[in-house]
Amino acid sequence: MGKYNHSKIESKWQKIWEKDEINKTTEDKKKPKYYCLIEFPYASGEGLHVGHARGYTAMDVVARKKRAEGFNVLYPIGWDAFGLPTENYAIKTGVNPKIITKKNTDNFRKQLKSLGFSFDWSREINTSSPEYYKWTQWIFLQFFKHGLAYKKKMPINWCLSCKIGLANEEVVNGVCERCGGPVEKREKEQWMLAITKYAERLYDDLDKTEFLEKIKIQQRNWIGKSEGAEIAFEIKSKISNLKSENKNEVNVFTTRPDTLFGATYLVLAPEHEIISKLKSQISNFKEVEKYISETAKKKDIDRTAEGKQKTGIELKGIKAINPANKKEIPVFIADYVLAGYGTGAIMAVPAHDERDFAFASQMNADKKSQINADKIEIINVINPYPNSPVVGGIFPTGFHNFDTTTAIDEKTKKILAGNEIWTEFGVLRNSGKFDGMKSEEAIKEITKFVGGELKTTYKLRDWIFSRQRYWGEPIPLIFCELCKKSMENSKLQAPNSKEVPNSKSEIQNQKFNEGEILNPGWVVDEKLPLELPDVKKYEPNDNGESPLADIKEWVNVKCPKCGGPAKRETDTMPNWAGSSWYYLRYADNKNDKEFASMDKLKYWTPVDWYNGGMEHTTLHLLYSRFWHKFLFDIGLVPTDEPYVRRTSHGMILGEGGEKMSKSRGNVINPEDVVKKFGVDAFRLYEMFVGPYDQETSWSTNGVVGMVRFIERVCGLSEKIVDNENEGVNNYLNKTIKKVGEDIENIKFNTAVSSMMMFVNFVYDKNGISKENYKKFLKIFSPFAPHVTEELWAEMGEKESIQKSEWPKYDEIKENENFIVVVQVDGKIRDKFTVDNGLGEDEIKEKALSSEVVLKWVGDKKIKKTIYIKGKLVNIVTI
RNA sequence: GCCCGGGUGGCGGAACUGGUAUACGCGCACGACUUAAAAUCGUGUCCUGUAUGGGAUGCGGGUUCGAUUCCCGCCCCGGGCACCA
């Protein structure tokens, strides 16, 4: 090969590959399948980023290697096309988002093709095309019909500048994740998906996957499982007990029923429903009401701000009974107790819970509302060290002559000073017949004793699935007043029936599915796709509704059930919808009868290896796992988890180690790099830049090094000899093994460096056999597909290098000799080469006869001599 | 606050189950080729000392014949969760 001309080689082979459709896949049942998936890009106007390329290149390397190993590899690509940036651009410019999307995806496609990824372009999908979103809508209807979608009026996070309702997860530190603007609470009717019904399985089934451990941890954190118990506290009124015949109870959720004897008061969330029920018995209800309305006005950020002092107010006139010791305890409301978690009520144990302690201290400092609870009395509930009088810093009441010589750690000191409290498990004290019992056991026993119930609670909330926006999938539901009425009438006859039984009226003869019963008046529109109509203006209207609401002829329809006047839902789906199932569509992207046929899904799914950005490892991953499990439950997909393996690549920072951004002016455009240095050098650098799962910074000089390396590989074609140095074959074997393992273990950077070392070695030995050179080209080809294809052809091969097999490596022969390092007392003093046949004793002897070693040993006595096979001898003196 | 990562030359970073720390690449310096430059090739490049040597993997302890690796206590950086009972 003459001088390495990257652009010539690249355009030549890209054309050939495209013409030959070399990466088109079919369901070849003779071969085992392997499904490689990357997160499909959101085609923004900014174009492709070096961060995209990191993940795509890595999976491209994997795909190419797997093909060479005999797998039928599916490596598809498509577009996540609904989304806010496009919509915001449409609002600003008045250009139809369809047109913007077309332009952006065309640009992305061109860029991706120029990078030589081995995608099967025939399976391309676009979430904003009606052929695709027909099925997104269809799946939503299945959720609805199975009672997993429901409309609920609830306070949502409302972004003032985007004019959009945000999911909890889109609010970061109290501001809008997208625009950074302020967020306030607003009551809105929202479609919800009942993901919480799947919380347990989403949590437990992580064990079945091979996700990176940190990804599993993030998922678990988000789901937030905690095991505890629900315990009922009886509420007593001072005014009159006769008034209420049926007794009032408050259920609390606690993870620490073992500390129940130390519960000195109860706290309810201000939104707790029992408050209005007890209105007449609360003597200070005016004040209480004031507190409640103040809370309601607060933004989440204020309510949860760190270091904020706790507030609350006692409900005077009522008391609760601690079910363990039957003591009367006061009841408070406070905004540190959240309505949406557990039961919205807690038992407070100031001696063993930091928040309760902080609240109690706060209330005691306020003279107007003394808690008649004594922290000292309570602190002795637990003795974590049963055999010691000094109990982890907690001294039993009345115990004065403790041993002051016992070591007291920092935490103990703080506890003694009254600044900290004991929150760990231990052994119970001051707990009646449970004294002496360990926490673990007491949790069960005390729960049983008071008639409570062991329970698991999750932090995960249901998914707000509505957006008051234009650029999304229309929700195919219709509201019909007549159907609502007919259902309400028939409900009286058959309240628990899933389907409404026969009734007199024609309307009431209609069958209703579970979703329709759950959401009276809402009926499904089965005519899909429900296409997004064109509008004149793209921004939400003044009522905060999507612009769809203003198209009267679209909104007003005949009810598909009863033919009466009805209205369409004007909310659209969130961006997460289309991406929750796209990997299924790739298996069968042209099917217009089903979202994908079971046959094809059985062949291709689950996804064997899914790679994406760390930023999607909580939400997108969780949402798509949820959809998949649901589809599995209704028999439409063959597995209960969508992805076997999930990895995430680290971010690539700018040259200075700062995040790449337009404003910093440090954005690296892949196109520029490719133009200057070539695709192969770019790909190689993406893999070499640093440990794959960690963030690292870009260096354009580093790319230059990759060009040099490629040129050296080309140069080897001039160094082909008949009789190569023996060492070359051994080294190659070692390299084949290393590169293969490194790819599997996502250690692409060391895979590249080991190939560099091999090439350096061959230059050193000045020759390589043709056979071995070709093997090297093969293992290099996933990283640098263009130049290796060219060199492969130069070696006289007629078929593409992509069609050839991955080379086998022979286990390396034991080296004939090796270097032994000799240490004296752990310090290296000598090295020598020994023959492989030499035994331990002979090597030790040889080490001991070394002059240098003898000098260092001197007249010290030798205590022992340690030999590590094939590595070193350490002579230890006294 | 809790949970994950990470801290190694001027820089990106290597180091298998505890066994030669600094591989590979970048940069830099010097040399060769050249009228010259670029490219290329070669040599050198952790610190300290003339040197045999000594000291370095965020800091302080420990275990061990031997620790970047294991244990204990801290510090710093990145990410996730966060009044979740």
Residues A649-676, mean pLDDT to the nearest whole number = 88
Task: Give the CA-to-C1' distance from A855 to B55 in angstroms.
Answer: 22
Whether the beta carbon of A410 falls within 7 A of nucleic chain B: the reply is: yes
Please write the tens of the pLDDT for every residue from A772-804. Answer: 999 999 999 999 999 999 999 999 999 999 999
Strand B interface, A 294-323, C-beta < 7 A: 303-306, 308, 310
CA of A409: nucleotide with nearest C1': B73
Q: How far is the CA of A281 from the C1' of B49 (A)?
A: 88
Supply the DSSP string of A165-178, one letter for each residue: EE-GGGEETTEETT
Question: Among chain A residues 849 through 868, which have CB within 7 angstroms of nucleic chain B?
Answer: 864, 866, 868
| pLDDT above 70: percentage of residues in chain A | 87
Confidence of residue A154 (pLDDT cuts 50, 70, 90): confident
| Those residues with Cβ within 8 angstroms of residue A755's Cβ, 6 or more apart along the chain or in another chain | A735, A739, A776, A779, A780, A783
Specify the nucleotide whose C1' lies closest to residue A821 (CA): B20
Residues 767-806 of A with CB under 7 A from strand B: none
Q: What is the pLDDT of residue A185?
A: 75
Q: Output the pLDDT for position A244.
A: 53
Q: Name the nearest CA neighbour of A255 among A341, A324, A325, A314.
A: A341
CA distance A608 to A606: 6
Tokens of A174: 């109290």
Which residues 516 to 575 of A reach strand B, CB within 7 A?
none
Q: Would you say the C-beta of A828 is within 7 Å of strand B?
A: yes
Q: Which of A39-43, A120-124, A394-398, A659-663 has the highest mean pLDDT?
A: A120-124
Q: Is the pLDDT of residue A380 over 50?
A: no
Q: How far is the CA of A835 from the C1' of B67 (A)?
A: 30
Distance CA A665 to C1' B69 in A: 40
Q: Give me the phi and psi of A845, to 5 degrees please.
A: -60, -45
> What is d(CA A472, CA A81) in angstroms, rounded to the nearest whole number?
9
In this prediction the pTM is 0.90
CA dist A475 to A390, A616, A641, Å? 64, 24, 26
d(CA A570, CA A478): 9
Per-residue pLDDT, A815? 57
Distance CA A784, CA A777 (A): 9
Q: How far, in Å, is the CA of A811 from the C1' of nucleotide B47? A: 41
In tens, the pLDDT along A858-877 reads 888 888 889 988 888 999 98
DSSP string, A539-554: S--TTS--GGGG-HHH
Structural contact between residues A573 and A140, judged by C-beta atoms closer than 8 angstroms: yes
ipTM of the complex: 0.95
Neighbour tally for A689: CB within 10 Å: 22
Alpha carbon A728 to its chain centroid, in Å, reads 45
Cβ of residue A829 lies below 7 Å from strand B: yes
- Residues A441 and A448: their CA atoms lie apart, in Å, by 11
In the 168-227 segment of chain A, residues within 7 Å (Cβ) of strand B are: 169, 172, 213-214, 217-218, 221-222, 224, 226
C-alpha dihedral sign at A299, A300, A304, A306: negative
C1' of B77 to CA of A658 (Å): 13
Residues in chain A: 878
pLDDT tens digits, residue range A560-591?
988 899 999 999 999 899 999 999 999 999 99
User: Which 3 state secondary structure label does DSSP give A780?
Assistant: helix
CB burial class (10 A; 0-12, 13-18, 19+) of residue A297?
exposed
Question: Is the CB of A708 within 7 Å of strand B?
Answer: yes
**Residue A790 neighbours by CB under 8 Å, 6+ apart:** A1, A9, A12, A13
Q: Do A138 and A595 form a contact (C-beta atoms < 8 A)?
A: yes
Alpha carbon distance A284, A275 (integer Å): 12
- Judge contact between A247 and A323, C-beta under 8 A: no
Asked if A346 contacts A369 with a C-beta cutoff of 8 angstroms, the reply is: no
**pLDDT at residue A355, rounded to an integer:** 85
Q: Mark out the alpha helices in A334-424 (DSSP H runs).
A: 354-365, 375-378, 410-416
Residue A320 DSSP code: E
Query: In terms of Cα–Cα distance, which of A3, A98, A2, A116 is closest to A43?
Result: A98
Cα A574 from Cα A166, distance rounded (Å) = 9
Helix (H, G, I), strand (E, B) or coil at A669: coil
- Which pLDDT band holds residue A243 (cuts at 50, 70, 90)? low
**Residues A311 and A358 sit within 8 Å (Cβ to Cβ):** no
How many Å from the CA of A814 to C1' of B65? Answer: 28
How does DSSP classify residue A80?
A: B
| Closest nucleotide to A685 by C1' from CA | B25
Distance in angstroms: CA A871, C1' B56: 24
Separation CA A339–CA A335 (nearest Å):
9
A336 touches strand B (CB under 7 A): yes
CA A742 – CA A281 distance, rounded (Å): 71
User: What confidence score (pLDDT) does residue A830 get?
Assistant: 86
Work out if A155's Cβ lies within 7 angstroms of strand B: no
Q: Within 7 Å: CB of A763 and strand B?
A: yes
Which residues from 160-179 of A have any strand B atom under 7 Å from their CB?
169, 172
- Is pLDDT of A395 > 80? no
In window 351-380 of A, residues with CB < 7 A from nucleic chain B are 353, 355, 358
Q: How many angstroms separate the CA atoms of A19 and A13, rounded?
A: 10
Give the distance, in angstroms, between residue A756 CA and nucleotide B44 C1'.
Answer: 21
Which DSSP category does A570 fall into? -
Tell me the C-alpha distance between A792 and A803, whole Å: 11
Share above pLDDT 90 across residues of chain A, in percent, rounded to a whole number: 56
Q: Say how far A103 CA is from B68 C1', in Å.
A: 51
- Helix, strand, or coil here: A96? coil
Lowest model confidence (mean pLDDT) among A102-111, A176-185, A589-598: A176-185
Indicate yes or no: strand B within 7 A of the C-beta of A871. Answer: yes
Strand B neighbours among A 640-679, CB < 7 A: 657
In angstroms, the CA of A247 and the C1' of B56 are apart by 73
- Share in percent of chain A as helix, strand, coil (round to 5): 40, 20, 40
Q: Let me know: does A410 contact A419? Beta carbons within 8 Å.
A: no
Spanning CA of A836 to C1' of B1, the rounded length in angstroms is 58
**pLDDT tens, position by position, A289-324:** 999 988 877 766 566 654 567 888 999 899 999 999
Nucleotides of B under 7 A from a protein CB: 3-6, 11-15, 19-21, 23-27, 39-42, 53-55, 65-67, 74, 78-85
